[in-house]
Amino acid sequence: MRADELLTTAELGLRLRRLPERRLGFAEAGLPHSDWVPAARERLTELLALPDRVEHRDGALVRTVRRDGIRTDVLRLEPEPGLSLPGYLLTPEDRLDPSGRIVLALHGHGEVESLLGVDGVAEDYHHRFAHRLALAGHTVFVPELRGFGALYDLAADEPGTTLRYWRWGTPMAYTVQTDAFLHGRSMLGDTVADLMRWESWLAEAYGVTELDVVGISWGGDLACTYPVFSNRVRSIFASGTLGSFTEVFRTAGNAPAHCLPGVLRWLDRSDIAGLNAPVPLAVHYGALDVPGPTNLSAALNDSALPAFDELRAIYAAAGAPEPTLIISPNLGHELDLEALTRWLDRG
């Protein structure tokens, strides 16, 4: 057989599109809000593969650093045998006894250095927001998330083994994600469980009673998902997220951490975020964060505003104040520190 006798793409139909079923989507399920919430929350728990009881193991204060009028407690938490996670609690020096309310700052694809304002680290789309919030008087906790920075390779201590995720300039086979899939888990689910563990330990060790959750991009996904399982979250500011899972991958080419296997059979992002009602929730986009050849984030895609309308409908059904939509002119996929500060200081 000659090569010119093979079928070509021009001779084939290549328009495959699988439509989401959303069997427990709020609009599709047709359930009263009071019945929908427990059913959707139970399904989300299964999709995330959260354990019946999320427990932290040992947490510890490793050292304390003081600079720029900020005390930083360098913390370490062990969520499961063989794995420890770093976290950083930033407290203004004039408030060494935390009030019980903190900001939980969740990074996107990047490292905590970009939030903390570490010397010599170039500013990126996070705009050092954790450090700047602490300078403004907020107590801020920054956990480093699985697959990033010091946690780039979760099997680094095992010679010949790798469970890597994300680092610019290196091959990214995303083995930590595929390993999770093989075991019926996901990075999203495992990271949500980590945040629940951190919250529990911070409540015990520091008396934390309330959290304002702030995240951008991957951190925005987490900001919409983790609070569903918390009773301490006071408000949510989610930047660069919410649009449909479908568009995140079909048009924006996002990285696989944003994936939750089987989710579109049951729920989409707006349904997940809607489970937070009545917790006040702000959704933020940069007006320039649209699909294009140089933008692999593209949070403000064609599904973003319809998803926000779906979110509003869920909050209305819950009898809650409607969520806030913020679109910052002249910004791309990046945090708007002024908008965030107004949200946190709104009273």
pLDDT (tens digit per residue) in 228-270: 999 999 999 999 999 999 988 887 778 899 999 999 999 999 9
* pLDDT of res. 255: 86
Task: Give me the torsion for CA of 100, 45, 148, 252, rounded to 10°.
Answer: -120
pLDDT over 70 (residue 138):
yes
pLDDT band at residue 103 using 50, 70 and 90 as cut-offs: very high
Which residues contact residue 113 at a Cβ distance below 8 angstroms, ignoring those fewer than 6 apart? 121, 149
What is residue 97's predicted lDDT score, i.e. its pLDDT? Answer: 56
First-to-last CA distance in the chain? 74
Using the Cα atoms of residue 217, residue 204, residue 139 and residue 340 in order, give the sign of their dihedral. Answer: positive
CATH annotation of 25-344:
3.40.50.1820
- 17-70: per-residue pLDDT in tens? 888 999 999 999 999 999 999 999 999 999 999 988 887 778 999 999 999 999
Work out the average pLDDT over 330-342.
97
pLDDT at 143: 98
| DSSP 8-state class, residue 16 | -
Please give the single-letter amino acid code of residue 249.
F
At residue 154, the pLDDT reads: 96
Quick: pLDDT tens for 266-316: 999 999 999 999 999 999 999 999 988 888 788 999 999 999 999 999 999
Domain boundaries, the chain: 25-344
Contact 268, 307 (CB under 8 A): yes
Which residues, 6 or more positions from 111, have their beta carbon under 8 angstroms from its beta carbon?
A: 144, 148, 149
Q: What is the pLDDT of residue 134?
A: 96
Over residues 323-341, mean pLDDT: 97
Q: What is the pLDDT of residue 65?
A: 96
Contacts of 85 (CB under 8 A, 6+ apart): 76, 77, 78, 79, 143, 144, 146, 151, 194, 198
- How high is the pLDDT of residue 98? 60
Mean pLDDT rounded to a whole number for the chain? 94
pLDDT of residue 33: 98
Query: In this structure, are residues 224 and 236 in contact, taking their beta carbons and an 8 Å threshold?
Result: yes
CB 188 within 8 A of CB 260: yes
